[in-house]
Structure 1
């Protein structure tokens, strides 16, 4: 069973590429981020034509997450990250799919820093840690995946100096990510690629894609119950090079059923 995550960077603008990717790779579950559409504008019918059922949490022009499942309807568990009743940003969606707890996140970017956006990022990560601890306590097979907007180590970027001041690789961001892992979660890509050098994002500017100046911010964290079923993982890098592509490439994990 393949579970994939893909920051699509605008579902309407990238719909042809998204449908193309779904047909070519056929993940059992696809988690999408930055759909950038209100709920009523989500193109569920287009996915249904391919056999995918969808659950989504939209927001006008910004953010937004969705979970697609091949031949089954995801059963919603949690919409929005608990812990702040005033938080109206659509960044969290949790569902039961094929016997797996699937958590799809679009973690705040945090720039510019210092400032309220970076404070929001760190507070959001603390709330996420609390929710992930609660999921672990249920002892269910679970995956927390999506765009974390954190470059975990210097091995996860083409040149650490290039973004030394960016919120994505500040010590506070990295420490918060490490605290997530230390609960008992397995970072699939890092586990299978301990040497690093695996990118999931290439900026549109300065020829980053052509020069392979990328970094890793899209992650798949597995609970102990699911980590035992991990067979393989990877990045659909080729899809980043297509016309009108997202600036992210899809990440996937292959699991034994």
Structure 2
């Protein structure tokens, strides 16, 4: 089973690229972020025509997440628990039947947090990460295959960016941000890409500005975080960076993992 995460940066603007990618890459489950679309405006017909079931949690013009899957989920949960006042559409969970039990897959779009001295934005990012940790703890207790996939807006380590000095004052790379990410890992979650590849210059995002893509000035902020039961079934990963060279690309590329759920 192939499971992918991709910040599409506007599904309506990128529907051609999305359909091309679904046909070529053929993930079994695709987790999208930043769809920037309300649920009723999501271009589901084009995606359903390719054989995918569509579940969305959107809002007008900003944020928004989606799950596209070749099998219909048994259950769908929208919104990250822990703050009923949070109206930002950043989280969706699907529960799927697989051989031997169930698989839980979440698509998440973690807050950017910049500028870090903003009295609202960075505290919201850290609070959201604390809620995510509590949620992950509750799901890990089920001892099921569980995948937290998405745009984390976190650069975990210095070698996950082209130049740490450029990012040292950014909310994506601040010590508190990276510490919160490590706390997730310390729960027992595995970073799928780093479990299969320890090379530097593995990036999932290149800014549109300053020639970042041709210079390969990227960062790795899109992650598949796996429960022990999912990590045991991981067989390979790939960052599909060629998608960044397509016409009118997202500034992110898909990050994919392959899993053997036949065991």
The two structures have a TM-score, normalised by structure 2, of: 0.96
Q: Provide the secondary structure at the position in 2 that maps to 1:233.
A: strand
Q: Contact 1:53 / 1:69 at 8 angstroms: preserved in 2?
A: yes
Per-residue CA distance 1:88-134 (angstroms, 9 max, x = gap): 00000011124310011000000011221000000000000000000
Provide the C-alpha distance between the structure 1 equivalents of 2:21 and 2:193, rounded to a whole number of angstroms.
20
Per-residue CA distance 1:23-78 (angstroms, 9 max, x = gap): 001000000000000111011111110000011000000000000101x2123342
Q: Contact 1:75 / 1:95 at 8 angstroms: preserved in 2?
A: yes
**Partner residue, 1:91:** 90
Q: Provide the secondary structure at the position in 2 that maps to 1:168.
A: coil
**Partner residue, 1:57:** 57
Provide the C-alpha distance between the structure 2 equivalents of 1:244 and 1:90, rounded to a whole number of angstroms.
24
**Partner residue, 2:201:** 197
Provide the C-alpha distance between the structure 2 equivalents of 1:77 and 1:18, rounded to a whole number of angstroms.
22
Q: Provide the secondary structure at the position in 1 that maps to 2:141.
A: helix
Q: Contact 1:105 / 1:144 at 8 angstroms: preserved in 2?
A: yes
**Partner residue, 1:152:** 156
In the TM superposition, 1:206-225 aligns within 5 A as: 206-225=210-229
* Aligned pairs, number: 256
Provide the C-alpha distance between the structure 1 equivalents of 2:231 and 2:89, rounded to a whole number of angstroms.
28
Q: Provide the secondary structure at the position in 1 that maps to 2:47.
A: helix
In the TM superposition, 1:1-257 aligns within 5 A as: 1-70=1-70, 72-98=71-97, 99-115=102-118, 116-257=120-261
Per-residue CA distance 1:155-211 (angstroms, 9 max, x = gap): 100110111111000000000000000000110111222243210000000000010
Per-residue CA distance 1:209-249 (angstroms, 9 max, x = gap): 01000000000011001101110001010001110010001
Q: Contact 2:75 / 2:96 at 8 angstroms: preserved in 1?
A: no
Q: Contact 1:69 / 1:97 at 8 angstroms: preserved in 2?
A: no
Structure 2, unmatched stretches of 5+, are none
Give me the CA root mean square deviation: 0.9
Moved more, 214-223 or 98-107: 98-107
Provide the C-alpha distance between the structure 1 equivalents of 2:38 and 2:199, rounded to a whole number of angstroms.
40
